[in-house]
């Protein structure tokens, strides 16, 4: 199988289902950003040495691939043929956040990204996740159930990545870096 098809040489690409759109289409931007997020989570998975975290991050990557496939679909009918993001996926993220939060100091101020290489990389993934959520909402109809689940999932995933970044900073580095507002 050849990787190149030459079908995009004129600035268009196909959504899943066959509809042709410009490569700058909002939907292409949305699923491309989910792909970017997936790549950053792969980097986090490669950096961490914790095998449980590696397995959990691999699961998230698979779920993000499903989310991107839904966003890349050209119709509700096509979306429903894709692997789905389920309410249980969102609940699992909430449960993992609750477990991680039990071992973290309470937040007393806003925190700055950083504290450890893994924390910094996870904050980058978090901000990309927020962008993916915004772009998915802009490009699609959130009233369509598979899309609704994707945007809920991305919302929760960004929260999860915030808590994971805190965990990395607190376990591997010097802890959270508090924001210090300058006083005039």
For residue range 164-179, what is the model confidence (pLDDT) as tens digits? 999 999 999 889 999 9
Q: What is residue 84's predicted lDDT score, i.e. its pLDDT?
A: 96
Q: Are 165 and 97 in contact (CB under 8 A)?
A: no
Q: What is residue 3's predicted lDDT score, i.e. its pLDDT?
A: 84
CB proximity list for 10: less than 8 A, separation 6 or greater? none
Q: Taking Cα atoms as reference points, which of 77, 60, 61, 63 lies closest to residue 15? A: 77
Q: What is residue 1's predicted lDDT score, i.e. its pLDDT?
A: 79
pTM of the predicted structure, to 2 decimals: 0.94
Kindly state the tokens that stand for 63: 């779920």
Q: What is residue 173's predicted lDDT score, i.e. its pLDDT?
A: 81
Q: What is residue 115's predicted lDDT score, i.e. its pLDDT?
A: 92
Q: What is residue 30's predicted lDDT score, i.e. its pLDDT?
A: 97
- Residue 107 gets the label, from left (phi > 0), alpha (psi -120 to 50) or beta, of beta
Rounded (10°) angle between helices 26-47 and 117-139: 160
Q: Taking Cα atoms as reference points, which of 42, 169, 61 lies closest to residue 111? A: 169
Instruction: Tell me the pLDDT of the chain (184 aa) as tens digits.
Output: 788 888 888 899 999 999 999 999 999 999 999 999 999 999 999 999 999 999 999 999 999 999 999 999 999 999 999 999 999 999 999 999 999 999 999 998 999 999 999 999 999 999 999 999 999 999 998 889 999 999 999 999 999 999 999 999 999 988 999 999 888 7
| Domain layout of the chain by residue ranges | 12-90+109-173
- Angstrom distance (rounded) from CA 164 to CA 121: 11
Q: What is residue 37's predicted lDDT score, i.e. its pLDDT?
A: 98
Distances (CA, A) of 163 to 17, 46, 73, 136: 37, 19, 31, 23
CATH superfamily, domain 12-90+109-173, is: Cobalamin adenosyltransferase-like (1.20.1200.10)
């Amino acid at each position: 199988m050849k990787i190149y098809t030459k079908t995009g040489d004129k600035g268009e690409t196909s959504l899943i289902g066959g509809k042709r759109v410009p490569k700058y289409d909002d939907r292409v931007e949305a699923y491309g950003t989910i792909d970017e997020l997936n790549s950053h989570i792969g980097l986090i998975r490669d950096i961490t040495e914790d095998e449980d975290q590696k397995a959990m991050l691999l699961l998230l990557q698979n779920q993000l691939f499903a989310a991107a496939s839904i966003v890349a679909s050209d119709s509700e009918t096509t979306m429903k043929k894709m692997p789905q993001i389920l309410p249980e996926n969102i609940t699992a993220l909430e449960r993992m956040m609750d477990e991680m939060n039990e071992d973290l100091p309470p937040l007393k101020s806003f925190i700055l990204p950083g504290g450890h290489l893994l924390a910094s990389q996870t904050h980058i993934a978090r901000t990309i996740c927020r962008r993916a959520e915004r772009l998915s909402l802009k490009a699609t109809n959130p009233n369509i159930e598979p899309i609704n689940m994707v945007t809920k999932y991305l919302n929760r995933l960004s929260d999860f990545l915030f808590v994971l970044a805190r965990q990395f900073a607190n376990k591997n580095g010097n802890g959270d870096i508090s924001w210090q507002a300058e006083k005039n």
